[in-house]
Structure 1
Amino acid sequence: MTVSNPSLVTLFPAVEGDFEELVALRIAAMRESLERIGRFDPARARERFRSGFTPAYTRHVTINGQRVGFVVVKPGQDQLLLDHLYIDPKYQGKGIGAAVLEQVFKEADELSLPMRVGALRESEANRFYQRHGFAFVAEEEWDIYYIRSPR
């Protein structure tokens, strides 16, 4: 299933009770990248997600009503933070993430706000974000940070 029509990808609000489903998806989506750098630890991944989980900023990504991922966009000081964008590994590479970015970019552009994102070093996400208009701004021990200016 490749998404030829981005409007097939819809976002709907998450609730507190969705935590277990979301954290399981996050762990599955991050596993390969974390293993590559020797940092895969499901307990740590769970705790990190729990500490920042805010249902009000979290939305499920669906195609024809089927949940295939989630996105978290948090307001910040003069910018939006794309805190999480995870697509179930079996649905990756099909244009779903790009369709989600199209929607959240539209929201950021309507607010005239830049969007910031961080990606784990050596993760495929780095190339994905750069392909979609994010520019490098900083690098830390484990993460690389990018920003996208509003259009």
Structure 2
Amino acid sequence: MKKYIGRLGVLGAVVMMLMAMFSAPAQAAANPYTRFQACAGDFGGSWSDTTDGHRNVLTPSGSKWGDVYLMYNSATGYNCVVVLKSTYLGTSSRMVAGLLIQGESNWREEDDNFSYYATVQGPARDKCVQYDGFIWSPSGASRAHGARYSWGNCG
């Protein structure tokens, strides 16, 4: 009888492990793109980190699905917002990268289905900016969000 109970315990642990593996969002080891590669690949040039230019992209329950970064190209005066997935890598799902430039009434956005990242850029020399990023699940049933909705990075 003890052998039987012991085997049930092991079987239960295996079942719990499998349930945890298959109930979590699909993940690969790491996103093959960096924020620098994403901005340079889509827009060319050399991009630098900015002060207060990073937010985690979180679900309402606090799960991290990626990161949103604000980058700057000092040669052109352009800002680049890149949203990098850390969940659902390699799987196409809706993503939005948003940039609001002081003096403009509308957000610049890249809103489409992507497998790894979304980017948007705009001219912001001597202007303040806000930025945001969204990642949806492949089914579209849930989403994650990260943003800075205050003016910053002026100049």
Instruction: Please classify the TM superposition score into its range, dividing by the shorter chain length.
Output: 0.3 to 0.5
The higher radius of gyration belongs to: 2
Q: How does the TM-score come out when normalised to structure 2?
A: 0.32
More helix by share: 1
Q: How does the TM-score come out when normalised to structure 1?
A: 0.32
